[in-house]
Structures are given as structure tokens and as C-alpha cells.
Amino acid sequence: MLRLCAVMLLCLLDGLVAVQIRADSDWSVGFHVLTIADPLDEQAMQAIAFYPSSADDQVSPVRGYQLQASKDAPVAMGRFPLLMLSHGNTGTPLAMHDLATALARQGFVVVAVVHPGDNDRDHSRLGSLSNLYGRPLQISAAITATLDDPLLSPYLSAEQVGVIGYSAGGETALILAGARPDPQRLRTYCLERPDDQDACRTQGWLVADRDDLQAEADPRVGALMLMAPLSLMFGRQTLSDVHVPVLMYAGEEDRLLPLDKNAEALARKLPNAPDYKRLAGAGHFVFMAPCTDEQRATTPVLCNDPDGVDREGIHRTLSAEAGKFFSAVLGAANSESSGMQTARHQ
């Protein structure tokens, strides 16, 4: 009889341990499309919110990307930090879907704005003052809209806001944190390096389409994660008001944004030294999600890395380090979902 009771107790304890392990595992991910008024012209712009969910895991195909997320799935119970994601020039936030979903699984709401006039389908504002100063305004408008969104607002912590910026999105993130770009620095750079066809396609002159705009910081932003940041227009003085913690990555073999004038210079000039990590052998596009075979065939420049560069491994490390960074500097999620997750998995 005693032996039977002992066996039953061990089985019960094993069950409790299993439930606890599963209860403490990551959330699944939902995604939700927001339509927001572009502060530049009040036209509609879109953003995609990725958030912790209590639903089962699901894969959703969206515009050629396989998102590890379920559309409009139930939001997990809790209060979660908000992270805004700004993509690069002529890019799409879907190209960084794996980072967004990985952070959502760790307890963050990640909102990726599709910048009007500067995305993969619309280049109409590229190289203009309205794009330089408008992108940060669009992120600020998206922060406000997300905090007011009926689906997401009950689960957000308005005091915990960070920004993730890739390439030109890094420039956007820095402006939101208090940096003031100096367009003259771009003109000087293009006189020195006229062969830089990406930065100097207009010889360093930005289209002066809006004289009513200027750099506007957002005091709600408490931390930055920068990946291959464009930072040609920032000098030491123009960065003097940036005091939030910064996590920064750059590929050592970035041929699009030379390190000496971008990430390396930025790391030296920021008032507070960033947590700066160089990725050996990696190029500019290593920060985009690992590609499918079809994407490798149709967009090889974006998808194929030099020999020895493990994009999948880099992304696993980057997502984990990003989660730890934002949890440390913004605070982790105030989760109320352990009981619900336990019930869900039993």
C-alpha cells in the first residue's frame, strides 16, 4: 500500500512539473493590422502588430512570407512592453517577421509600420525631407494609435516603449530618441565618396518638399535596438540629447552602409556607449529573416550570405539578446497569464 502511494505521489509530482514547464514556456503569436492616419497628409497608413497570444500556434502566409502567427488571435492576459519597428528604405517590415514574432513570444507587442512613400511598393518620398522627418512622426502616430487600439490597449504598458530600427529605420529611431540630423553632413560625405550609389543617388541633396518639418523626439521612447543603422547625418553634437540605452548590431562586411561612417562612427559619438556587436563576415541584409528557397531564387542579393555566415543562428542569438536587453532596460511583461496557459496545456 505504501509503495502504491509513493508511486502515485511521484506520478502526481511529475504531472505538476510538466504543467509548470509548459506554463512557463513562450506564448504563441497573433498579428493584427492597424490602419492609422499618416501625420504628413492624413492618408491611411498601415502597421502590423505582433503580440503574445493564448491561441494555438499557426502559420499564416502574407505576401510571400510565412508568418509564425495567427491573424487576430486572442491576446494573452498581461501587460506587455511596446516595441515599434521601422524598416529600411524601400523595404517592408515583413522582411523582419521572425524577429517580431520571436519578441512577441517573449512577452512584447511589436508594431511594424509600413512607411508611406518609402516602402517596397511606393518610393514617392525617397530622398526627401518629408521622408527624413516624416518617418519618426509616423512611428509616434503609430505609438499613439496602438495605445488606443481596442484590441491591444488593455494589454499594453504605456510606460514601456522601445524602438527597433533597421538601416534607414535606425536613423528614424535615433531621431525619436533626440538626435537631430544635419543634412550638410550627407552632402559632405557625397563629395568625399561620390561612388556611393545608395546614399548619394542625388549627390547628397534631399528633395526640399516640406519646409515645415523638423526633427521631433518622442519622450515615450525609452530604448533603441539598431541594426546596420544609417547614421551619416549625425555628428557628436547632433547626438548629444540621445540618452536612452542602445543595443546595436552591424555586419562587418556591410557594403551598403560603410561601417566607418555609420555604425562605427555612431558607437563613438553617442553620449552613452551602446552595447555594440559586430557580426563577422555578415553583410547589410543579414538582418532580414532567413529566406525560403523561392525567395533565394527571386531575390538572391537579399537572401544569400557569404560562406560561413549562419543567418539562422545569427537570428536566434539576436532575438534572444534583444529580448534580454528590452526586458532589462524597459522592464519585463507583467504577465497574468500563467494560470490561463496552465489550463490551456492541461
| DSSP string computed for 13-81 | HHHHHHHHHHHTSPPEEEEEEEEEE-TTT--EEEEEEEEEESSPP--EEETTEEESSEETPPBPSEEEE
Among candidate residues 55, 37, 54, the one with its CA nearest the CA of residue 46: 37
Domains defined along the chain, listed by start: 2-345 (3.40.50.1820)
Regions of the chain short of the pLDDT cut 70? 1-25, 335-346
**Helix/strand/coil for 10:** helix
Among candidate residues 146, 121, 139, the one with its CA nearest the CA of residue 63: 121
Q: What is the distance between the alpha carbons of residues 275 and 225, in angstroms, rounded to a whole number? A: 9
Does the pTM exceed 0.85? yes
User: Scanning the structure block, which residue is given the C-alpha cell 504531472?
Assistant: 15
pLDDT of residue 336: 56
pLDDT of residue 201: 84
pLDDT of residue 339: 37
Rg (CA), the chain: 22
pLDDT of residue 158: 94
Q: What is the distance between the alpha carbons of residues 296 and 231, in angstroms, rounded to a whole number? A: 29
Cα-Cα-Cα-Cα torsion 281, 287, 293, 294, nearest 10 degrees, comes to -130
pLDDT of residue 4: 40
Q: What is the distance between the alpha carbons of residues 125 and 75, in angstroms, rounded to a whole number? A: 35
Which helix or strand (DSSP H or E) is residue 6 part of?
helix 2-23
Q: What is the distance between the alpha carbons of residues 147 and 144, in angstroms, rounded to a whole number? A: 5
**pLDDT tens digits, residue range 46-96?**
999 999 999 999 999 999 899 999 999 999 999 999 999 999 999 999 999
Q: What values do phi and psi take at 320, rounded to 5? A: -65, -45
Buried b (16+ CB within 10 A) or exposed e, 11-28: eeeeeeeeeeeebeeebb
**Averaged pLDDT of the chain:** 90
